[in-house]
């Protein structure tokens, strides 16, 4: 698969090659995905990767996540291999979550911070062997080398983004599909654990992981044999017996909002650029008009782990970049804002849609499952006064409501009534009512015993 790696490297030469010279490249599963991508549309994601926009209908795909199973493609996430005699020490130093107790066969959520204690990048690290980790998250191929250079540690970093798939099988029926595909039992595999298997004469790591709030598994298959599309096809075809649907990009992010998954760009900005460079980064995700209309500084959206509800992912008893700032925040009583959800008023949202068919000016209605990483932070108000930000707004077919994430003043408790400023440059701004809710909006089943869960459903 040298050709895939060459295309990937060319696609990432943002500053050296013109746009027309940088290739698009299909996911390793693209030949099979093309068979069922009825939208005939492909989203352009990290490093030139293309992803099917909508396989069947976005609302059917979203509901299947909660009722049967879905197969989604996260292969576009960057993957960096960390090896060398100081690999563990290096990862421990740059991660707010210590990895010193992490065992081979385990996966750990490892948020990484700036010196100011704000999120620079976050992802998961698989421990493959002693001093051998695979870290997955967008931007890792840039951030990790910068940290290695700054710390001067003996560590080898290799961008392996095109070398592995990340096919996510998620939902209540994911275990029987997994076992039918592999011919092996995975009932005893706990959350954030992984094991190796072989499919289509190719090494595959199966990890129990996911960002959907459901029991789920991810297939990290080596791409060098060129058989990843056969794996995608087998999972899809086997899963049809239980109602599995492929999950397109249009519906993919609905699950993030329903399941309390803060996502960079959609919910916050990463603190890995000088303040004067942040607008340039934000321009990738917003129009010039939208940025010009901002009435606040973009640094407002740089956040600490506690502000996103990630305090449990921080180990203050080990030395890591940003620890002093995190400790100071905790000593001061915690962040001034807390991570919440908002359930938007159905009548107000309905009126917004109805207004599109009347003569009076009105802001545009929310896109139905827009699915893109667009920079959209909407001001939240309590009794007319600014009280935080709403983000990642999505129409949930499962909840039958417009819902969103929110970073709100710490004093705002679940049940509080607020309004959300909804408007765009050149349009009026409406204040839509919403109710503050706890996170997540749906029960978190990621750590459930899949056998017991099936029995409880009468299966």
CB 224 within 8 A of CB 242: no
Q: How far is CA 342 from the centre of its chain?
A: 19
Task: From 275, 301, 434, select the one nearest 377 (Cα to Cα).
Answer: 301
Across the chain, how many H-helices and E-strands are there?
Answer: 13, 22
Could you give the CA distance from residue 272 to residue 55 in angstroms, rounded to a whole number? 35
DSSP conformation letters of 396-414: ETTTTEEEEEEEEETT--T
* 279, containing H or E segment: helix 278-282
Task: From 446, 389, 378, select the one nearest 412 (Cα to Cα).
Answer: 389
Q: How far is CA 210 from the centre of its chain?
A: 9
* 350, containing H or E segment: helix 346-354
DSSP 175: H
- Give the torsion through C-alpha atoms of 406, 410, 414, 417, to 10 deg: -70
Q: Is 307 annotated as a binding residue?
A: no
3-class SS of residue 166: coil
Q: Token pair for residue 52?
A: 């099917």
CB 28 within 8 A of CB 75: yes
* 151, containing H or E segment: helix 140-151
Annotated binding site: 218
Binding site listing for substrate: 218
């Amino acid at each position: 698969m040298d050709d895939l790696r060459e295309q990937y490297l060319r696609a990432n030469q943002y500053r050296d090659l013109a746009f027309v010279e940088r290739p698009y490249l299909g996911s390793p599963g693209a030949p099979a995905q093309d068979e069922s991508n009825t939208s005939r549309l492909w989203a352009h994601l990290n490093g030139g990767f293309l992803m099917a926009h909508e396989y069947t209908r976005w609302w059917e795909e979203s509901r299947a996540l909660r009722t049967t199973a879905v197969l989604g493609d996260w292969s576009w996430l960057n993957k960096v291999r960390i090896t060398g005699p100081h690999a563990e020490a290096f990862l421990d130093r740059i991660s707010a979550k210590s990895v010193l107790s992490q065992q081979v066969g385990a996966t750990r959520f490892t948020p990484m911070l700036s010196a100011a204690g704000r999120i620079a990048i976050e992802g998961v690290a698989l421990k493959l062997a002693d001093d051998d980790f695979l870290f997955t998250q967008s931007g890792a191929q840039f951030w990790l080398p910068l940290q290695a250079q700054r710390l001067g540690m003996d560590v080898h970093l290799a961008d392996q983004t095109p070398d592995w798939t990340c096919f996510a099988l998620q939902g209540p029926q994911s275990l029987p599909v997994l076992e039918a595909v592999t011919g092996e039992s995975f009932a005893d595999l706990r959350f954030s654990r992984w094991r190796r298997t072989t499919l289509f004469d190719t090494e595959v790591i199966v990890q129990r992981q996911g960002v959907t709030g459901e029991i789920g598994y991810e297939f990290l298959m080596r791409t060098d044999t060129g058989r990843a599309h056969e794996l995608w096809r087998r999972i899809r075809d086997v899963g049809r017996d239980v109602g599995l649907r492929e999950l397109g990009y249009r519906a993919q992010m609905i699950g993030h909002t329903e399941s309390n998954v803060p996502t960079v760009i959609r919910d916050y900005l990463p603190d890995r650029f000088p303040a004067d460079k942040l607008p340039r980064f934000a321009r990738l995700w917003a129009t010039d008009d939208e940025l010009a209309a901002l009435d606040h500084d973009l640094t407002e959206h740089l956040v600490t782990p506690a502000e996103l509800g990630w305090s449990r992912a921080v180990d203050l008893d080990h030395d890591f970049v940003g620890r002093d700032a995190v400790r100071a925040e905790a000593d001061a009583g915690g962040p001034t804002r807390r991570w919440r959800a908002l359930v938007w008023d159905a009548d107000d949202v309905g009126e917004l849609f109805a207004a599109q068919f009347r003569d009076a000016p009105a802001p545009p209605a929310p896109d139905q499952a827009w699915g893109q990483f667009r920079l959209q932070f909407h001001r939240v108000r309590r009794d007319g006064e600014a009280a935080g930000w709403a983000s990642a707004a999505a129409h949930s077919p499962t909840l039958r409501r417009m819902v969103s994430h929110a970073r709100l003043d710490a004093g705002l408790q679940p049940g509080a009534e607020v309004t959300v400023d909804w408007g765009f440059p050149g349009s009026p701004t409406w204040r839509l009512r919403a109710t503050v809710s706890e996170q997540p909006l749906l029960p978190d089943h990621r750590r459930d015993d899949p056998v017991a869960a099936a029995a409880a459903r009468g299966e």
